[in-house]
Each structure stands twice: as C-alpha cells, then as structure tokens.
A and B are shown apart, each in its own frame.
Chain A
Amino acid sequence: MSLNAIPLLSIIMFLPLLGALVVLILPGEENQKWWSLLVTTLTFLLSLALFFYWKNGEAGFQFVERYAWIPQLGIDYHLGVDGISLFLVLLTTFLGPLTILFSWDIKDRLKTYLFLMLLQEAGVIGVFISLDMVLFYLFWELTLIPMYFLIGLWGGPRRVYAAVKFFIYTMLGSTLMIIAILALRYFYGSFDFVDLLHGKGLPATAQLAFFGAFALAFAIKVPLFPFHTWLPDAHVQAPTAGSVVLAGVLLKMGTYGLVRFCLPLFPAATKQMVPVMMTLAIIGILYAALVALRQKDLKGLVAYSSIAHLGFVVLGIFALNPSGISGAVLQMVNHGVSTGGLFFLVGMLYHRAHRRMVADFGGLWKQLPVFGAFFLVIMLSSIGLPGLNGFVGEFNILIGAFKASKIAAFIATIGIIFAAWYLLYAFRQVMEGPLDKPENKLLPDLNAREIIILASLVAVILLIGLFPNIFFAKINPSVLELVHFVKIHAAPVLITPLPTQ
C-alpha cells in the first residue's frame, strides 16, 4: 500500500486533539491519565513513521496533504514536513508522553489539565506542519490558549500576572503577523506558503515591513533580547510540565518561524537585517547568561539559560549558511531536550522539597545519587560538552557564524564559558558541599516513573551527540536548498502589487 494514501500528518495532529476530547468525557482520573499517556505515546510512535519512511536526500516537503478548505477565501488545508520541521514534530511528540508521565501526581482539576496538555500538543504539531498561512496562524494562536490556562490555573503565586503577560505579549506579536499575512495575500493573491515562495518577490521596502511584522512575532516568541522579559515570569509561575512544553516546543515556534517564513519569503530584508538580528542574538547569549548566574530561583536560572541558548539558534539562522542553519535546526531539538530536561529536574526537586531557591539546597548528591547523575548529564548536555547533543548544534552554529562574521563568533563563543559558569555554579550550590540542612536529609531519590522520563531524555542526548549524522542527513538537503534560495532571491525585485479580484 502506498504510504501517500495515508494522511499521516493529519493523523498525528488529530490524534491528540481527539484524545483531548475523549478525556473530557472519560470517567475516572486513573483512566484519564492512562488514556492521555496512551494517546501521546501512540502519537509519538506514529510520528516515528515520518522518520523511517523519510525520503533521504530530498529537500522539498514530504507527506504532503492538500485540500481546499475555505475556497471562497482561498484558504487550504495544506500540510507537509521537510528537514527543517521533521525533528520539531518528533520533538513535540516525544515530549508529549514525558510531560503526561510527569503530571501523574496532579490532583487539582486533572481532567481539564490533561485536556489542555493534549490540546497544546495538537496545536504545536499543527504549527510545525501547516503550509497555509492562515492555517498556520490558527494553530499559532491555538497554542496560546492552553498555555494561558496552564499557567493561570496551575501556576505559582503570581500566576495571573504571568499568564496575562504571556498572553498579551505574544498576542501583540501575532496581531502584527496576521496583518502581514493578509497583506501578503493582497500582494500575491494566495495564502499558500509554497505559492508565496514562488511568487514574484516584493520590493525591498515592503520586504522590510513584512520582515518586521513576522520577525517581531517570532522574536517575542523565541524570545530574543530585549523581548524576553515575559519568559522568566511565565516559567517561574508555570507548573513544571507547562515549563517543559513552553521551553521544549512553544519557544521553537519562534525560531522555526524565522527559518520557515522570514528567510525565504523576505530574503532581501533578511540579508539587510542580519547585523541587527546577529547583534541581538549575541547580546542575548551573554546578557542572559550573566543574569542566569545571579538567579536565586532555580527555575529562573533555567529560564534565562534558555534565552541564552536560543540566542545561539538565532545566531545560526542569520549566519545564512548551511552550517549555521543546520546547526540551528538541530539545536532547536537539543534545546528542547536539554532545557526541557533541566525543567523536569527542577520540577522533581520542587516536588520533593517544595522549595526551589538555590540557597535552599546543598550537598544533595549524597542524598539523591540517581537524581545527581541525571542532573550531571543533562547539565553537561546544556553546557555543550562534546560527545553530547548540545555540542553538535552549538559547534555547527559557531562554524556558520564564524564564516559569516569572525567577530560575532568570537563574542558568541564567550557564551560557552558563561554557560559552564552558571550551570556549574548551580550544580555546586545545589548538589555539592555539605548536606547541612536537616530538611534535605529526608528527601527520597527518584522513583521509577521519573527515571523513565530522564532516561529517555539522556538516550536522546547520547544519540544526537554520538550519531548526529542520522539527523543531519535529513536536515541538510532542505537547509541547503533554503540557503541557495535565499542567496539567489536576496536581490530585491521591483514589482507592482497584483490587482485584487
């Protein structure tokens, strides 16, 4: 049977959505939990089919589905993945069951919680596979709502402030984006991404305006310095699984958007904006690292480290060469695994101690040897230790950045020293030194469920670190084509807008 006959992407996206609806009517909390776990695991296994049936060496979209959806407006139901989005989909489906597993102990409004988690997953998958601008925008907005409620209902003491700030800030960006999408339709007469790609191009000034609208929406999402201040608030207040999803996949929508839309749709503007974007990325790398160093709350520390790490991703993207962008695409996945892992770890600690301040701990390695071992490996992955996943992404990004600008690479590389500094500092304060606080002497080590979560992450960390070519083989062709496309279209075209109707 031909694989093309199976609408694999639709299934992967609708399965969690369906699961979410079933949760609402399913009686019994145990059933709801197991059901959610089943659905997310199944989604993950199905998404592996994308990997195994991938046509290696092909740059274009695969598993494409396209149907007219609202023909009156020219909106299509158009799905597809290429090397740039494939692993983001896999990352999303991979983190799905892990976040459900982590939430096993949630007692408060469990049904709603699971509903939102599943809805969230469907939304994020939708973002990564939509090839119609309106469809993309719908999913983009859809992801906002579950996270808003997850923070607002299950969050910490300042959850309402954090949730509202998260919502409004990102909404501000996406509002500009939808206006830009509508304007694109005015120029090109289509909402379809592939049509837009092969359109005639835009005048340079218009490109700049469009780039600005899209890039602002994405930069807020990433978040890129100086649009980042909503993120620490959101992370610190969010429940752990929420933080994992937020850092793991929601932020990737921003970096993904930059690669997917800003680069090929507005190549001339992209080229023009390289210095600005690189500068902001580099400032973010160093600035967020120094701020992370001085966080008293472990979650705050991880949140700022996340900003610094995504600075590397943006740097790689705007290097505009294969090394930089392939590295950035892989680094998005790495960041999801490593930073997601760090949030899991902080969550597990908080779950035991009901405290999270760096100063609350010390010498925990003695009491929690298994936790310590996982903390160590995931920390090292985040630091970018060669042999683990973070290095592969980071180093390729830096190779790319060096090619684009020596100075940029020099300054950014200082970031790898800082990253080691704040994470080793945290490890030193929390895990090492004397176990002198009596309340910490009773903490239990990890349970089997938690070990499964962390061991899965460590498996991926090692897999990417040791065999990154498995991933690059699928990422590279699409990236090469993108780089080529941007290069030849970077010269601005002067055309008049198409008349509408």
Chain B
Amino acid sequence: MLNYAWLILLFPLLGLLTNLILGRWLHDELIGWIASTAVFLSFLVAVGLFFALRSLPADGRQYQLLLWHWMRVDLFRADVKLLIDPLSVVMGLVVTGIGFLIHVYAIGYMKGDQRVQRFFVFMNFFILAMLTLVFANNFILLYVGWEGVGLASYLLIGFWFEKPSAAEAGKKAFLVNRVGDFGMALAIMWIFKLSGRVEFLDIAKNVQALAPEATAITLLLLLAVTGKSAQIPLYIWLPDAMEGPTPVSALIHAATMVTAGVYLIARTAAIFLLSPFTMTLVATIGVVTAFFAATMAMAQVDLKRILAYSTISQIGYMILGVGVGAFSAGIFHLVTHAFFKALLFLGAGAVMHAFHGELDIRKMGGLRHKMPQTFWTFAIAAAALAGLPPFAGFFSKDEILWSVWLHSPWMWALGLLTAFMTAYYSTRAVVVPFMGKPRDKHLYEHAHEVSAVMTVPLWLLAIGAAFSGLLGLPHISLIGHWLAPVFASLHMGGEAAGGSLEWIFMGLSTLVVLAGIGTAYYAYMVNTAFPQQFRRSLGFIDNLVQHKWYVDELYMAVIVHPLWDLGGWFADVFDRKVIDGAVNGLAWVTGEIGGGVRKLQTGLVGWYAFSLFLGAVLLLGYFMLIW
C-alpha cells in the first residue's frame, strides 16, 4: 500500500485535468461529482495509508517514497519524494475527508454559477497543493505546496473577479502570503547552508548543525507560519478572504491553507526546539493572536466575518499549543477545528444561500423554524467551537490550555479569557440569526432549507464536530498515541499528563465556557439593550475593535504607500531624468564635440567612428598610465 502513496496526489490531479480538458462539454453537476470523486478516492488512499502504517511497529512508522529526482546542483538535492508518517497521514485524512464533504456541498452551492468548471478545477488544485505540502519529505517540495495553496486561495478568493473587492482580496492574500514565503525561502537557504540537507528526516538527524543560528532560522520560519496561518502580524488577509464562494472559505479555514503553519511547526519541531526564544515567541504570538482575534470576532455583525476572526483566534490556540511544545495537542485541535469550522462555514453558506447573499446577522432571526437542519448542525458546531463539553473543541482546547498552564500561567490566563470570549461570540452567532424573532420580515419569508446535497455533508461534519473530541480523551488519547512516534525524540515536558489538578482545570474551563454562553444568551435574548450599553461603556476601545485595531491602515501607511510612491518617483524622476538624463547628456556632449569633426559624415557612421575613437583613446590612455 505504502508504495502506492503517490495515488493520493494523482487523483486530484486527474480530477482537475479531466475537468480542465473535458469540462466545457460536461454538465455542471457532473463536473462537481468528478471533482468530488477524485477527492474521495484520495481519501480512500489516505485511509489505506493509515491502516498500512498502523500495521507497522510504532517506531517504524515512517516511509519515504521517491517519485523522481527533481533538481540537483552540486550538493543541493531536492527530489519529488513523499514522507508517509503518522503526522502526514492525520493531515491527509483531514484534508481529503473534510475536503471531500466541502466538494459535495459545493455541487449544490455553486449550482447556477457561470463558471462551475473553473471552480472545481481550482478546488481540486487546492487539495492537490495541500496534499503536496503535507506529504513532502523535504522543504523544497513542501514549498511547492506552500505556494500552491497560496495560489489556489488567490484564485478562489478572487473567483468572482468582476467584483473589485474580490479581486483585491485575492491579490492581498497572495501578497501577504508572499511576505511569509520570503521567510520560508530564506530559512530553507540558511538550513541548507548549515546542514547541506533539505529533507526533514535528514535535518532532524543532524539538527545540531543548525544550533548556532537556530533562532534566526526559526524566526524566518515563524514569519512564514504567520503568513499562511493568519497570525499576528500577517493575519490581515484572512478576514478579506471571505470574498470567495463560501465553500472556499470552508476549505481555507478548515481543511487546507491556514492549518499549514501549524503543520510546518510540527513537522520542523526539531529545529524550533533548538531555540527557546523562538518557541516562547511562537506561544506568545499564538495566545495574543487568539485573544485579539476574539475581540474582533465579538464586534462583527457579518456572519462570515465572525467565523473568519474565530479561525484566526482558534489557529492562535494551535500555535500556542505547539509553541509550548504540545505538538500533539496542537494537531489534535487542528483536527477537531477542521470539523466544526468547516461545518460553521457551510452552515453560514446555507444561510447565505437562503437569504440571497445577506450575511448581516442583525437582519436575521428566528431562522431555526425555516432551516431546522442548518440550525441544529450549526448549533453543534458552535458548541464545539465554544468548547462546551462533550463536543469536540472542549477536549482539544483543554489539552492545549493544560499544557500551557505547565509552561506559563499568564498565557494560560489569557487563553482562558479568550475561551470565555469564544463561548460568547459562538453563542451570539447561533442566537442572533437562528433564535428569537425574525428581524427582516421580507428576507425571512423567502428563506428556505437547502437541498440534500448540502445538508448531508452538514450532518456528516456534525458527527465529527460532536464526537472527534473522543479521539483525544485525557490519558487515553488515541491521537496522542498515534502521533507519539513523530515527536518521540523531542520532549519539552509540556505534554506530560497531570493528576487530579488536570480534572480541576477541566471543570474550571467548563465553568468559563458556560459563563460565556450565559452572558451571550442574556445579552441577545433577555436584555437586548445590553450589547449597546456595553459598547458605549468601552468608548474608544470599541472604535478600535470595530476597525480591526487599524492594522490594515497601519501597513498601508508605513509599507505599501511609501513603496508605491518611491516606485513612482523612481519611474518618473530618477529613471527618466537622472539616469537617462545622464546618458542622453553624455551623448549630446559627445555629439557636440563630434559635430565639429564630422562635417562630411552623417548620422550613425560618425557616431560609431567617434565612439570607437574615444574608447580607444581612453583605453590606451589607461594602459599607458598603468605601465
């Protein structure tokens, strides 16, 4: 089976080629099914790989498969070579499994769009790129997937390119990611220079070679992580990314793209662990991002934006987890989050579908009567996001917080505060649109439940959102055991399970979550004047939060505009006037002098002769001087 691991990449490739070449003659729905089938077949391969690995002894679960020699120059050897180990298989299952459900849902969602063919080609490409990233055995191939998912998100966010905001959002996503890729590229060069290797296992084996400059290298990698996983300081592209069709948001936020950063840290954990400074910074960025994104999620009125900020916040938790060395816990949260976040976006998409594109939750209300299936699945997902036991998010978030407590109490406290806020905005996202009374009668009248091709994926994801937490029950964590061989050699002590204290902490975080849910319920169902009063009492902070802390504006003013203006000055003044002015001036002077000499000659010949003469004189003069 392991020998056939390349099939996991082949199926999405075949899917996209089939649709690319034959799509114009195929029915839209068939195109969707071809694309979905391709991803499903990949999923089957991932399942096969899982069982094949499981049949091996735990410490032998590592298989590398060379496909072809890619580029080799001197000592630099980058091959198209796959690495199948517990980590890549978990990621592969998430990407293909959840990706498949999103594909199926999209068949219904994209019905009637003018460019269904293009949509599914891009979607399959997204899966292909993400799988390349996950299964790469070396940095260079990973980089292919890394930029590949960036490209896919660029194309899909800007899918409705006629809309200027969509086109801009796609461009922004690509460029912000490129800033991250800058870090990635340099980190790879640096690692290669010090170790002479680019393959992960080789690097891990000789990781001490990187020790002298590990902090610089990991900081560069961290820059790449913040770009791809939308963390401070490069998170700004993700909120705009909801310009794409909703299934794309689900794919970006859940199965692919943003999880890549967490994966990268886990994959290169051996390098990160060389630098305690970077690890602390990783954790700090994680927890601070989790907190700030949660504040912004609380302030949004657009359903998809709430979810977008919640993704940033949740990825913050994962980064926090891997930052304190709890790699398995970070990956575990990645898995549970993939289920409930995909479900939330697809639920939001269903609402949008029913509401003719409206996403302002202030216009919704009472939708549970019209869309019961969407309501229930959305509520399950929100409960998972909020971290309400026994839904999935509870276990994974709790495991991270527990590891953080052992590492840094202040981060733990901030994480717990964020958990309260998360519970608050999750509840709000359910209560305001689905419960209470309809706020916009007209829109409400037209709302309707979505078709089965969309509700079935919702329910399947709901099962995951409800139960995937069981994979990681404290002390008997299946996922922890499964991943253990990958991280076996790198213990920071963070992941050790505690005694009775851990149970107390679980109770504490349950109380915090309940408090968050209660507060939101009170604010939006009981005393509906409360949110306004609360906002007024915040004063200028409310303004800051509403404007996303003005970070976009800051970047524009400090980086983008100055470079843009500098380019303009270079183009109009420096290049034309100074450099070209000097060239033309020199030519003019030469011409004037030459003009006296070449009365009988015209044009080019004279020029030629004169410049030849001048050059000869200068050169001969030089030779005379040096001898």
Q: B563 near A290 (CB under 8 angstroms)?
A: yes
Tell me which residues across on chain A come within 8 A of B540, comparing CB atoms: none
Residue in B154, B164, B612, B622 whose beta carbon sits within 8 Å of that of A209 in the complex: B622
Spot the interface stretch: A50-58, A67-75, A164-172: A164-172
CA distance A363 to B572 in the complex (A): 27
Q: Does A421 contact B (CB under 8 A)?
A: yes
**In this complex, what residue of A is CB-closest to B615?**
A175
Q: A386 near B607 (CB under 8 angstroms)?
A: no
Residue in B71, B566, B579 whose beta carbon sits within 8 Å of that of A468 in the complex: B71
Known contacts: A213-B619, A385-B147, A409-B186. The answer to whether A434 contacts B611 by CB under 8 A is no
Shortest Cβ distance from residue A141 to the other chain B in the assembled complex, whole angstroms: 10
Residue in B70, B72, B570 whose beta carbon sits within 8 Å of that of A294 in the complex: B570
Q: Does B575 contact A (CB under 8 A)?
A: yes
Shortest Cβ distance from residue B332 to the other chain A in the assembled complex, whole angstroms: 30
Extra pairs beyond A168-B607, A409-B189 (10, CB < 8 Å) = A175-B615, A180-B619, A228-B579, A229-B575, A290-B567, A327-B73, A392-B71, A399-B192, A434-B164, A435-B162
A-B pairs, top 4 by smallest CB distance, nearest first, are A290-B567, A322-B74, A432-B167, A402-B189
Tell me which residues across on chain A come within 8 A of B171, comparing CB atoms: 424-425, 428
Q: B73 near A476 (CB under 8 angstroms)?
A: yes
**In this complex, what residue of B is CB-closest to A178?**
B612
Q: Does A62 contact B (CB under 8 A)?
A: no
Tell me which residues across on chain A come within 8 A of B612, comparing CB atoms: 175
Q: B615 near A172 (CB under 8 angstroms)?
A: yes
Residues of B within 8 A of A (CB): 68-74, 76, 140, 143-144, 146-148, 151, 154, 158, 161-164, 167-168, 171, 174-175, 178-179, 181-182, 185-186, 189-190, 192-193, 563-564, 566-568, 570-572, 575, 579-580, 583, 587, 604, 607-608, 611-612, 615-616, 619, 622-623, 626
**Looking at chain A's contact residues, is the secondary structure mostly helix, strand, loop, or mixed?**
helix
**In this complex, what residue of B is CB-closest to A415?**
B182
Q: A291 near B164 (CB under 8 angstroms)?
A: no
Q: B161 near A431 (CB under 8 angstroms)?
A: yes
**In this complex, what residue of B is CB-closest to A424?**
B171
Tell me which residues across on chain A come within 8 A of B69, comparing CB atoms: 469
Q: B167 near A416 (CB under 8 angstroms)?
A: no
Tell me which residues across on chain A come within 8 A of B615, comparing CB atoms: 172, 175-176, 179
Q: Does A272 contact B (CB under 8 A)?
A: no
Q: B175 near A323 (CB under 8 angstroms)?
A: no
Shortest Cβ distance from residue A164 to the other chain B in the assembled complex, whole angstroms: 7
Q: A167 near B604 (CB under 8 angstroms)?
A: yes
Shortest Cβ distance from residue A363 to the other chain B in the assembled complex, whole angstroms: 6
Tell me which residues across on chain B come within 8 A of A468, comparing CB atoms: 70-71
CA distance A431 to B167 in the complex (A): 10
Residue in B148, B575, B611, B626 whose beta carbon sits within 8 Å of that of A206 in the complex: B626
Query: Using a CB-CB cutoff of 8 Å, which residues 289-319 of chain A contact chain B?
Result: 290-291, 293-295
Residue in A213, A230, A395 whose beta carbon sits within 8 Å of that of B185 in the complex: A395
Q: B619 near A209 (CB under 8 angstroms)?
A: yes
Q: B626 near A209 (CB under 8 angstroms)?
A: yes
Q: B178 near A229 (CB under 8 angstroms)?
A: no
Q: A433 near B161 (CB under 8 angstroms)?
A: yes
Tell me which residues across on chain A come within 8 A of B186, comparing CB atoms: 402, 409-410, 413
Residue in A291, A326, A420 whose beta carbon sits within 8 Å of that of B175 in the complex: A420
Residue in B143, B158, B161, B619 whose beta carbon sits within 8 Å of that of A176 in the complex: B619
Tell me which residues across on chain A come within 8 A of B572, comparing CB atoms: 294
CA distance A182 to B175 in the complex (A): 51
**In this complex, what residue of A is CB-closest to B114?**
A366
Query: Using a CB-CB cutoff of 8 Å, which residues 316-336 of chain A contact chain B?
Result: 321-323, 326-327
Known contacts: A175-B612, A363-B162, A472-B73. The answer to whether A294 contacts B185 by CB under 8 A is no
CA distance A179 to B621 in the complex (A): 13
Q: A433 near B619 (CB under 8 angstroms)?
A: no
**In this complex, what residue of B is CB-closest to A180?**
B619
B-contact 0/1 string along A204-230, CB 8 Å cutoff: 011001000100000000000010111
For this complex, 21 residue pairs linking A to B, each with C-beta atoms less than 8 Å apart, are A169-B583, A171-B607, A172-B615, A175-B611, A179-B615, A179-B619, A213-B619, A226-B579, A290-B566, A294-B564, A294-B571, A386-B148, A398-B185, A399-B73, A406-B190, A417-B178, A428-B167, A469-B68, A472-B73, A476-B73, A480-B74
